[in-house]
Structure 1
Amino acid sequence: MSFYKLYDFLRDLQKNNSKDWMDENRSQYLEVRNWYIQWLDELSIELAKVDPDYHDTPGRKAINRINNNLMFHPDKPIYKDHFGAGMDLTVNGKQGDFYIQLGTQESFIAGGFYKPKKEILDSIRDAIDYNGAVYKKIISKNSFKNTFKVINDGDSLKTAPKEYSQDHEHIDLLRLKTFAVQHDLTQKDVQADDFKAKCIEVYKEMKPFRAYLNKAVTV
């Protein structure tokens, strides 16, 4: 098995996104899925070696369902066109994402908090109010800027949050509703022999960013 076959399966699924097709090809789906779970198991072991704070996340726990949630999004296809996996998962869920998505339309590694609940967002804003300069130093580092793009969904506040003044020194950050970054991948990146090593390097570069946010929501 290989990532070549993973992408081949996803392309076939995209062309034949139906339960009938999936039922006929379930053995192929399970072969690809189980292989990817094993690959994620190996990645989790390697991440634990480079980060003593990493939470062991077996591939079976990390991988997301391939079915779309049609109850809330009835207009979506039955199946996703990608495999998603969340690593470094905690029991209480108070941890910024380290997420890998491999898909026909886009592949990427992302991390942080995407549109978090109010409780989480309030904690992050409290931290920025207290020491936002530390956060800005992390995201201003050249290697960080060269590795990631900031996820901006255009949903930021137009004015200051109620608890903060309009002239706050970090008002640009306090207006945000998402604190997340993304590293885009090509299929060539994913299919390369050193892809696992690339994931580890991206994880290490993202670690201070996630550590700041994780501390903000747990302390």
Structure 2
Amino acid sequence: MATTIEKSTLTFLSDLTQNNTREWFQQHKPRYDAARKNYLAFLDELLPEMEPFEPAAHGQTGKDLVFRIYRDVRFSNDKRPYKDHFGAYIAEGGRKSILPGYYLHLAANNKSFVAGGLWMPPANYLKAVRQELDYNLEEFEGILQAPAFKDRFGTISGEQLKTTPKGYEKENPAIEYLRYKSWNAVMPLSDKVVLGKDFRQVVLEAFRAVKPFNDFLTAPLRDVGE
């Protein structure tokens, strides 16, 4: 029988949001272990179904892709020791990849989402993507206007420059997209959807819809650094 996200998994994440301390976490460690196991099992069944349209999923497991729940608080004003969600990044090279990929964020209180795109790339990747957008704006806009993409993700998001990027004129037809420092597509998920029997299908269809967006962002990166 297919793995679904259990209500107890979201309940644990909700309780963790309210009780984000080491003492509470240690007392509820078995609940964390069960919730993480549920999330990993879901990923392990999702990945083979992604393979027909996304080769990067091949040979990967949930453990390769899921982020640690422990926060690095050394340089942060926010001293909460734990993340209040589970997250996994599916891309070539696993969760630490800097290539475009697919992200599944599982959180309580209707804060889950699926996402795709390129997050805060290094300068040489940023330059390569901007050049691709400048040369192929029509293709990019076609991807964003495709019904499968637009119905799920609406528009794109990400941190933007307040000024015009170096080497481009403010009259450039692609300037709206050239200002981005990350190119992200995000689809919110309600708890009801997450807990539904067809949730895996919802995620698969969203990932399939964001695939052309990821492919566009990946293409100019293949030759970077060669």
Superposed CA RMSD: 2.0
Query: How far is the alpha carbon of 1:53 from its aligned partner?
Result: 5.4
Q: Please say if 1:40 is aligned against 2:43.
A: yes
Q: How does 1:29-108 map to 2 (within 5 A)?
A: 29-52=32-55, 54-90=57-93, 93-105=97-109, 106-108=111-113
Unmatched 5+ residue regions in structure 1? none
Contact 1:123–1:216 at 8 Å: present in 2 too?
yes
For residue 100 of structure 1, give the secondary structure of its aligned residue in structure 2: strand
TM-score of the pair, normalised by structure 2: 0.88
Contact 1:55–1:90 at 8 Å: present in 2 too?
no
Contact 1:94–1:217 at 8 Å: present in 2 too?
no
- Give me the whole-angstrom Cα distance separating, in 1, the residues matched to 2:28 and 2:79: 21
Cα gap change, 1:172 to 1:54, in 2 (>3 Å): same
Query: How far is the alpha carbon of 1:151 from its aligned partner?
Result: 4.3
For residue 150 of structure 1, give the secondary structure of its aligned residue in structure 2: coil
- Give me the whole-angstrom Cα distance separating, in 2, the residues matched to 1:161 and 1:75: 32
Spell out, residue by residue over 1:162-202, the C-alpha distance to the aligned partner (whole angstroms, 9 max, x if none): 21222222122112222111011000001000001111101
- Give me the whole-angstrom Cα distance separating, in 1, the residues matched to 2:93 and 2:5: 29
How many matched pairs?
A: 218
Select 2:118's aligned residue among 113, 138, 155: 113
- Give me the whole-angstrom Cα distance separating, in 2, the residues matched to 1:17 and 1:157: 34
Q: Which residue matches 2:135?
A: 130
Q: Which residue matches 1:206?
A: 210
Spell out, residue by residue over 1:83-103, the C-alpha distance to the aligned partner (whole angstroms, 9 max, x if none): 111123326834213000011
Q: Which residue matches 1:161?
A: 165
Contact 1:56–1:89 at 8 Å: present in 2 too?
no
Contact 1:108–1:182 at 8 Å: present in 2 too?
yes
TM-score of the pair, normalised by structure 1: 0.91
- Identity over aligned pairs, percent: 31
Q: Which residue matches 1:144?
A: 149
- Give me the whole-angstrom Cα distance separating, in 2, the residues matched to 1:163 and 1:26: 53
- Give me the whole-angstrom Cα distance separating, in 2, the residues matched to 1:188 and 1:89: 31
- Give me the whole-angstrom Cα distance separating, in 2, the residues matched to 1:146 and 1:72: 39
Q: Which amino acid aligns with 1:130?
A: Y
- Give me the whole-angstrom Cα distance separating, in 1, the residues matched to 2:175 and 2:199: 38
Unmatched 5+ residue regions in structure 2? none
